[in-house]
Amino acid sequence: MTPSTAGALRRPDIADPVTYAAGVPHEEFTRLRLTEPVSWVQEPLLWRHSSGGRIAERGSGFWAVTTHEAVLSVSRRPEEFSSGAKGAFLVDPRTPADLRQTRQLLVNMDAPQHLRIRRLVTSVFTPRAVRGLVESVTAHATALVDRVARAGRFDAVTDLACELPLLVLSDLLGMPREDRHLLYRWSNHLVGFDDPDYGGGDVEAYRRTFVEAFQYALRLAMERRDNPTGDLVSLLANAEVDGQRLSDREFCNFWLLLVVAGNETTRHLISGSLEALAAYPAERDRLVSGAVPVPTAVEELLRWVTPIMQFRRTATRDTELCGRRVSEGDKVVIYYTSANRDAAVFADPQRLDLGRDPNPHLAFGMGPHFCLGSHLARLEATALLTAMRPHLAAFELTGPVARLESNFVNGAKSMPARIAGAPQRT
Ligand code: HEM
């Protein structure tokens, strides 16, 4: 073995979910940006379980797109880099039926269908509509922070970060708040498919989660078709596209996308932000003293954490990207997590600088699929950090952070923490 191949063997595999249990491999992304901003990556063997036994699956391999400029270029050429051809997730749909199911999700659609469906809910997520939620989101954030501050010791993921988006979502969707833990379980199973503590690679359990979530959603839809209220479910259940109501299947898929997208992402932004503030006390102090406004800090924390690390596209024709020839049908993965640490755009990108402004991060993506919930996510993070501000100087982690084994979301499953000086209740 030559020294260079030995070096290559030791490199973290950016496609392997297990890699991320130790944190995002930023050094490897830096190397890729500098040496091969569009580079071919072999996919690892991943074990899947079902009642038929254990099978190993290996994806086709993909182009990893790692610079800010190249990620923007792919995002702005949706006719050449499709979300619908094979979906927007790294793992290929297993069967034609899976592909059909995948394409029912907004995030996996192309124009013109994509815009027709997206339009149905844009009104709920405009800055103006989100401003109407300030009071309720602030009240939830304050109550949650008060509770953990009283407890003294708590888990920053399960007691704090996961709760705010779940409460906000149950209000938006018009669900009983007690049911929010169903949303938590379903999205953990779907997004954490590869993690041994959540989905565990169990294909049948994955499908069962869809069935369970869809049954729940359908019950809600039927109630709201008979008795519409002002919530998002009533809007979706009664919405028409080209004079036709959404089918039950379309409704369920939209509902589930909102449940997953509005839940996991914001959770990981909040817990990742708290972890970063504990690790960088000088930056934390700028936030605590008011030297940096909370919304400015939230933008930097979005860049720093980048809760959704990548999305996938498929080339619809032979084309070129940063001098590489990409063939029709190739899988192309845009790494927001890498684009957000690109020194060509961000000065000193590996430094957390809460006052960074401007901050053209791509944490919410770019182009036609730009995150629908960005204003809501910003509001939630701002409300939570504002409520936490008086306690931040005393906030510290008390144990190891358990990270999610996922090559898709940058998240933690648990983060033992305390607010020092607060009463300690066990
Ligand atoms: C910190 C929090 C969040 C992050 C980092 C985030 C990130 C993203 C990203 C990167 C995309 C682009 C998908 C692509 O490129 O294909 C996206 C799309 C989307 N997000 Fe978010 N998101 C967050 C919060 C939310 C919330 C709170 C909601 C709703 C309640 C939401 C709903 C959606 C939806 C529906 C899409 C699909 C849009 C489309 O395909 O047209 N997101 N999000």
Give the residue, out of 68, 371, 376, 408, with the most ligand 1 atoms within 8 A of its beta carbon, to mutate for a pocket test: 371
Encode pLDDT of 226-274 as tens digits: 999 989 999 999 988 888 888 899 899 999 999 999 999 999 999 999 9
Encode pLDDT of 69-114 as tens digits: 999 999 999 999 999 999 999 999 989 998 998 999 999 999 999 9
Domains and CATH numbers, the chain: 26-416 (1.10.630.10)
pLDDT for 423: 59
Could you give the CA distance from residue 48 to residue 193 in angstroms, rounded to a whole number?
10
With pLDDT > 90 as the criterion, what percentage of the chain qualifies? 82
Counting runs of H as helices and runs of E as strands, what totals does the chain give?
Answer: 17, 16
Nearest ligand 1 atom, CA 106: 40
Could you give the CA distance from residue 359 to residue 282 in angstroms, rounded to a whole number?
20
pLDDT for 426: 42
Give the residue, out of 140, 233, 372, 375, with the most ligand 1 atoms within 8 A of its beta carbon, to mutate for a pocket test: 372
CA of 305 to the centre of ligand 1 (A): 15
Measured from the CB, is residue 124 less than 6 Å from ligand 1?
Answer: no
Statement: residue 9 has pLDDT above 70: no
Provide the Cα torsion 172, 173, 175, 181; round to 10°: -90
Measured from the CB, is residue 310 less than 6 Å from ligand 1?
Answer: no
Statement: residue 220 has pLDDT above 90: yes
pLDDT for 60: 94
| Closest residue CA from atom 42 of ligand 1 | 373
Measured from the CB, is residue 371 less than 6 Å from ligand 1?
Answer: yes
Statement: residue 1 has pLDDT above 80: no
Max CA pair span of the chain: 71
Average pLDDT of the residues in 261-289: 97
* DSSP E strand stretches across 24-171: 38-41, 45-50, 53-58, 62-65, 81-82, 153-155
Show the tokens assigned to 112: 């013109």
| Closest residue CA from atom 1 of ligand 1 | 266
CA of 260 to the centre of ligand 1 (A): 9
Average pLDDT of the residues in 137-157: 97
Encode pLDDT of 300-347 as tens digits: 999 999 999 999 999 999 999 999 999 999 999 999 999 999 999 999
CA of 151 to the centre of ligand 1 (A): 33
Give the residue, out of 140, 364, 378, with the most ligand 1 atoms within 8 A of its beta carbon, to mutate for a pocket test: 364
pLDDT for 186: 93
| Residue 422: band (very low, low, confident or very high) from pLDDT cuts 50, 70, 90 | low
| Residue 377 CA from chain centroid, whole number | 11
Encode pLDDT of 183-195 as tens digits: 999 998 888 888 8
Nearest ligand 1 atom, CA 269: 1
Residue 375: partners with Cβ closer than 8 Å, 6 or more residues away: 125, 126, 127, 130
| Residue 325: Cβ-neighbour burial (10 angstroms; 0-12, 13-18, 19+) | exposed
pLDDT for 359: 98
